[in-house]
Amino acid sequence: MKRILILSFAGLLMGLTACQKSSSSSNTTMNVKITDGPGNYDAVVLNVKEINVKTSGGDVTLNVGSKAFDILKFRNGRDTLIASQTIPSGTLKEVRLVLEPTGNYVRIGGVNYDLTTPSGQTSGVKLKVQEELLDGVAYTLLLDFDAAKSIVQTGNGKYILKPVIRAIPQAVSGAITGFVTPIASSPKIYAISGVDTVGTIIDATGKYYFNGMPEGSYKVNFETSAPYINKSITNVAVTKGTVTNMGTVALN
């Protein structure tokens, strides 16, 4: 579940997630991380205002943790998390990186020069993309910023930011789902891997859903009360970017 997109004057988006208690899911946890390719500058500071994400499930503005940062500090395998949030799952349609109108600059020979990005400072630097985001599966979007190609010097000595970014989206978790019958059994359901245990319950249709599950093998326990019976299913495999469907489990 890995694609490489080359973005020229384009934007962003984001996931590692913790296991959550949920009977169903219509959301995806997305993390945006950024890294950099070498550039012959002392510093390249980007002052990010927000990241807007549009999926077929809705639009979300992602909170940016640290707005201004020197992208050159994150190269040679290093990266930094700039946004992390739950967004509606579905088809990813557009991501926009919106910069503050001031605070973006390049440092050359100890001197700071303002970077102008008219599009990025108003409506945002846009990325059009079709990427399917599964319910309850966490994703990361690693943005590889090419500083050498992204900064253009004009004839009058000014500098313009035209971002060239290689974006690498990938799933970093999976999910488990299934149904229980009869619904009246109302079991407590636990997914266990080593010392980690995640619990959930069924919804009105008998469906259960574990989202944001790290890849691995799980034992799933169904605990109910008489006249229904408890069950335990072992070796339930979770793979990144997939939803493992356990089918229907009968507790009678």
For residue 15, give both structure tokens. 């996931």
Work out the average pLDDT over 24-40.
77
Give percent of the chain above pLDDT 90.
Answer: 34
- When the candidates are 2.60.40.10, 3.30.70.520, 2.60.40.1120, 3.40.50.720, the CATH number that belongs to 174-250 is 2.60.40.10
Per-residue pLDDT band for 219 (boundaries 50, 70, 90) equals very high
The SS3 assignment for 175 reads: strand
Tell me which range, 21-30, 130-139, 149-158, 204-213, is most confidently predicted by mean pLDDT. Answer: 204-213
Residues whose CB is less than 8 angstroms from the CB of residue 94 and which lie 6 or more positions away in sequence, other chains included: 52, 53, 54, 126, 127, 128, 129
Q: Which amino acid is at 224?
A: T
- The pTM for the full model equals 0.67
C-alpha to C-alpha distance for 120 and 98, rounded to whole angstroms: 5
pLDDT of the residue at 47: 86
For residue 57, give both structure tokens. 């499930």
Mean pLDDT of the chain: 82
Q: How far is CA 217 from CA 22, 101, 211, 233, in A?
A: 19, 49, 15, 11
pLDDT at 104 over 80: yes
Among 9-13, 41-45, 60-64, 90-94, the least confident range: 9-13
pLDDT of the residue at 218: 97
CB 87 within 8 A of CB 28: yes
C-alpha to C-alpha distance for 19 and 199, rounded to whole angstroms: 9
